[in-house]
Amino acid sequence: MNFSKYLLLFIFLLLNLVSGNKSMCEENILNNRLTLSVFLGSNIPILSSGFLKEYKSQLGGTKDEFQTYWGIGGALGYQLNKNIRVSLNTEYILNTLQDNFIKEITKNSGQWRSYQEDMELSTIPIIISVQKYLFFEKYKSYFGIGAGASYSSFKWSESVTSPLHNDKRIGGTIYNTVNFYPTIRAEAGIDLDWDVDRPNVFMKSVSISAVFYYVIRYPKVYKNLESQIVPFPDDLKGRKGVVPFMIGVNLGLTFNIEKYVINQ
C-alpha cells in the first residue's frame, strides 16, 4: 500500500509539471460549454491514521489502514470562458477493514479474549469546483479547487469471545452512523481531445486526474465502548478522525452534451 501512495503522489506532482505549446484546443473549447464526465477512481487514505492509532494502541488491533477499491464517479461541467470551468462532481468511495486478533485480559492473567472486527466506510462527496485550464500542443491541463459535503456511512461491528462469565466486553455494534461532513477537494488533470479538428464530436476527450480530499469527519467513534471498558482510557475519549484525508487518481471520459443531448 505504501508503494501505491508514493505512485499517486508522483502522478499528482507530474500533472502539475507538464509544459508545452498552445494549440487549436484553446480556440475550440467554447464550442462545448456543457459537458458530462464519467470516470473510474481509486482513493487511498493518507497523512493521518485517525482513530486507527488508538484502535491499535488501546484495543490491540493489528491493522492500521483501510482497504481501498475502485469506484465510479461523474461531473457536470460548464465552461464560463476560455480558461475557467465550473463543475458539480461526485463519486463513490468505499473503504473496508477486517481484523482478527487476541489480547490478554489483564497483564500476566493467562486469559485472552479474541476479537473479530468488521468496518465499512462509504463516502460520497458532492462538490462544486472551479477549474483553470492551461493549453498545450496536444492536450489541455487544468487544476482546480472545490468545496461541498460528503455523505458518509460508517459501520463498525465487533465480535468478542471471552473466557469470563458475564464479561462486560461483549462487542456488538461499536459505531453505526450516517451523516454529512464538510469537504474540500483539490485536483489537477489532463484532457486529451479525440480530435481537435472536430470540436463537436460527442465523445469529447479522455482524461486522467489526481485528486485530494479533506473530509472534516471527526465523530466520537469509541463512545459505545465506555460501558464495556472500565476505566475508560483518556485516549479513547473525544472526537477522532475517520479517514479525513485521501488522495486518488481518476480515469475518465468526457462527453459533449450541449449539442447532442440538450440542443437536439
CATH of the domain at 195: 2.40.160.20
Mean pLDDT calculated for residue range 128-146:
85
Residue 110: pLDDT band with limits 50, 70, 90 = confident
pLDDT for 17 beyond 50: no
CA distance 132 to 188: 10
Residue 199's domain comprises: 2-262
Residue 138: pLDDT band with limits 50, 70, 90 = low
Contact at 8 Å (CB) between 67 and 74?
Answer: no
Mean pLDDT calculated for residue range 19-35:
58
Q: Measuring CA to CA, which residue among 173, 153, 146, 152 is closest to residue 228? A: 173
pLDDT for 40 beyond 70: yes
Average of per-residue pLDDT values in the chain: 86
- In 19-92, the DSSP E strands lie at 34-45, 67-68, 70-79, 84-91
Contact at 8 Å (CB) between 213 and 190?
Answer: no
Phi, psi angles (nearest 5°) of residue 189: -155, 175
- Stated length of the chain: 264
pLDDT for 92 beyond 70: yes
Number of structural domains in the chain: 1
Cell digits of residue 16: 502539475
Which residues pair with residue 158 across a beta bridge?
Answer: 117, 172
pLDDT at residue 246, rounded to an integer:
95
